[in-house]
């Protein structure tokens, strides 16, 4: 058994090297230096911070939820101007509006990583069964991290529904690699008219990207504004807190009616804060955006940070109380249970 360990380590290392993304090539901008993407104005993360965190981890309790609630089969289509939002897990949501079915960062795999055996194991089943999904029209991908872009799930979606995949710069090669149909890649502030029912705006996020050991920040990360008959919905993707939230609110072209904001994977904050917003930061982002309603995302499935299972919801309640915001204005969704917004 001991002689097998070095082989497992070596094979894992080789996988991480070959998993690297091809480098994006394009004009230099304020967030692309010709080789890598950058976060304008973001302070540098502490040198050696990753090793320091890994050596001194302080994980909160996170029991597996093997018998967790799984929702009923969703409606095939939702017509009209009401928006139905169903939390699947982590950052995966089913958005149903005006006859369209949209998925965000879909993940149904048991582990997220380069292979089915190398990666972070889920702590609960998805809130919807994959085989009970309605026909999926559009899939929004925020960046290339495995917990947001899961190729086995993408491959199943291509086979079952052949949806349109929308990605930021440099990321479309991944859905294409399994036969996916993609739009043109989007840079921050680009717009895409998907159909007469849906227009998208690609928005700035404060994060990073990589699939392997040698491709750090070689593809872009983003969020999306969805312009529909319901109004404007904001899907943040993955982001640390920053001034970009206020700019997104100012440049949205109208009031943001619904904001999907991350609340998990934020401890320890000295290390995570630049790229993962805390619940308190999410509340401030909600205020910056001047959104009518917020829903929490990026929690409850994979223990990536040191925050325990209940901490994001508990810390969110504290932050809302401090800002005197009613809890029903920033909901913590339950997997599999649809929320209806008129």
Average pLDDT over residues 102-128: 93
Average pLDDT over residues 17-37: 87
Asked if residue 85 has pLDDT above 90, the reply is yes
Tell me if 262 sits within 8 A of 286, measured CB to CB: no
In three state form, how does the secondary structure of 57-72 look?
CCCCCCCCCCCCCCCC
Lowest mean pLDDT among 118-122, 164-168, 250-254, 293-297: 118-122
State the alpha helices, DSSP H only, in 27-144: 49-55
Residue 89 falls inside a structural domain: yes
Helix 279-289 to helix 311-322 angle (10° resolution) is: 50
Residue 4 falls inside a structural domain: no
Average pLDDT over residues 193-201: 97
Residue 22 falls inside a structural domain: no
Residue 268 falls inside a structural domain: yes
Tell me if 260 sits within 8 A of 245, measured CB to CB: no
pLDDT recorded at residue 1: 45
Asked if residue 133 has pLDDT above 80, the reply is yes
**Structural domain range at position 335:** 82-341
Asked if residue 147 has pLDDT above 60, the reply is yes
pLDDT recorded at residue 43: 74
Residue 68 is encoded by which pair of tokens?
């967790």
Q: Which stretch of DSSP H or E encloses residue 295?
A: strand 293-297
Residue 36 falls inside a structural domain: no
Sign of the dihedral through C-alpha 168, 173, 175, 179: positive
Residue 172 falls inside a structural domain: yes
Asked if residue 5 has pLDDT above 70, the reply is no
Cis? peptide before 8, omega within 30° of 0: no
Q: How far is CA 319 from the centre of its chain?
A: 22
Distance CA 286, CA 289 (A): 5
Average pLDDT over residues 237-251: 97
Asked if residue 311 has pLDDT above 60, the reply is yes
pLDDT recorded at residue 48: 84
For the segment 45-79, what is each residue's pLDDT rounded down to a tens digit? Answer: 766 888 999 898 999 999 888 789 999 999 999 99
Residue 8 falls inside a structural domain: no
Residue indicated by tokens 């989007």: 186
Total of domains in the chain: 1
Asked if residue 232 has pLDDT above 70, the reply is yes
pLDDT recorded at residue 6: 42
Residue 294 falls inside a structural domain: yes
pLDDT recorded at residue 66: 76
Task: List for the chain the helix, strand, coil content (%; round to 5).
Answer: 25, 20, 55
Average pLDDT over residues 132-145: 98
Distance CA 223, CA 206 (A): 10
DSSP conformation class of 5: H
Distance CA 188, CA 334 (A): 31
Average pLDDT over residues 16-40: 86
Taking alpha carbons only, the member of 71, 65, 75 closest to residue 87 is 71
Distance CA 330, CA 332 (A): 7
Whichever domain contains 146, its CATH number is 3.60.15.10
Query: Average pLDDT over the chain, rounded to whole?
Result: 93
Question: Using 50, 70 and 90 to split pLDDT, how confident is the model at 159?
Answer: very high
Sign of the dihedral through C-alpha 168, 171, 173, 177: negative
Average pLDDT over residues 167-172: 98
């Amino acid at each position: 058994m001991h002689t097998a360990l070095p082989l497992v380590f070596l094979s894992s290392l080789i996988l991480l090297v070959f998993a690297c993304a091809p480098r994006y090539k394009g004009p230099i901008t304020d967030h692309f230096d010709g080789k890598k993407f950058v976060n304008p104005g973001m302070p540098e993360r502490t040198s050696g911070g990753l090793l320091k965190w890994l050596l001194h981890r302080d994980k909160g309790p996170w029991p597996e939820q093997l018998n967790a609630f799984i929702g009923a089969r969703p409606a095939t289509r939702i017509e009209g101007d009401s928006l139905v939002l169903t939390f699947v897990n982590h950052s995966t949501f089913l958005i149903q509006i005006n006859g369209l079915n949209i998925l965000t960062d879909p993940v149904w795999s048991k582990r997220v990583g380069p292979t089915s055996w190398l990666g972070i194991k889920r702590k609960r089943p998805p809130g919807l069964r994959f085989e009970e999904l309605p026909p999926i029209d559009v899939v929004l991908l925020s960046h290339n991290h495995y917990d947001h872009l899961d190729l086995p799930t993408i491959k199943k979606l291509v086979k079952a529904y052949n949806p349109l995949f929308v990605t930021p710069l440099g990321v479309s090669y991944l859905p294409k690699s399994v036969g996916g149909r993609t739009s043109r890649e989007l840079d921050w502030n680009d717009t895409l008219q998907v159909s007469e029912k849906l227009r998208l705006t690609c928005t700035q996020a404060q994060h990073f990207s990589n699939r392997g050991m040698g491709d750090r920040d070689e593809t872009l990360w983003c969020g999306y504004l969805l312009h529909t008959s319901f109004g404007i919905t904001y899907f943040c993707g993955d982001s640390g807190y920053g001034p970009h939230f206020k700019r997104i609110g100012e440049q949205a072209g109208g009031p943001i009616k619904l904001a999907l904001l991350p609340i998990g994977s934020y401890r320890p904050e000295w290390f995570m804060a630049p790229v993962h917003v805390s619940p308190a930061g999410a509340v401030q982002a909600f205020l910056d955006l001047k959104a009518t309603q917020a829903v929490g995302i990026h929690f409850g499935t994979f223990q990536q940070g040191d925050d325990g299972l209940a901490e994001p919801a508990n810390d969110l309640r504290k932050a809302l109380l401090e800002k005197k915001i009613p809890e029903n204005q920033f909901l913590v969704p339950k997997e599999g249970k649809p929320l209806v917004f008129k």
